Amino acid sequence: MRLTFDFHENELKMSQFVTDKLAEIVQHMGPRQIVKLPRTGPFSIVPYQTTHTCGGAIMGADPKTSALNRYLQSWEVPNLFVMGASAFPQNAGYNPTGTIGALTFWSLDVIHKQYLKSPGPLVHP
């Protein structure tokens, strides 16, 4: 699968607006210099290293509305486990690394303690 995306006009305008507002607030703090760097297109991962792309293999309680169960195991392919932010339907707005680590630990724990002893679905809808 190939997934591509880019900033749209409204997102670029929002970035400019927020950048200008922040500069206005910071100006009252008396800085020596203000450098404004609103986002511009096209999207590139290089300058946006804090971009946390999420989604693609959503986890949930229902195989009709999600790709993975609570253990990050595929509903359709029981020997497939998907670790990472692809399990989230969206980015909550902050760095998801801690949550990803916790969910990965949760998944690996059940793989080690249960799945390897008896491979198959860990959750039955």
Token output for 52: 């946390």
Catalytic residue among 8, 28, 52, 112: 52
Counting every residue written for the chain, the total comes to 125
CA dist., res. 55 & res. 110, Å (int): 23
CA dist., res. 122 & res. 125, Å (int): 10
- Identify each DSSP E strand in the chain by its residue range: none
> Any catalytic annotation for residue 52?
yes
Residues with a known catalytic role: 52
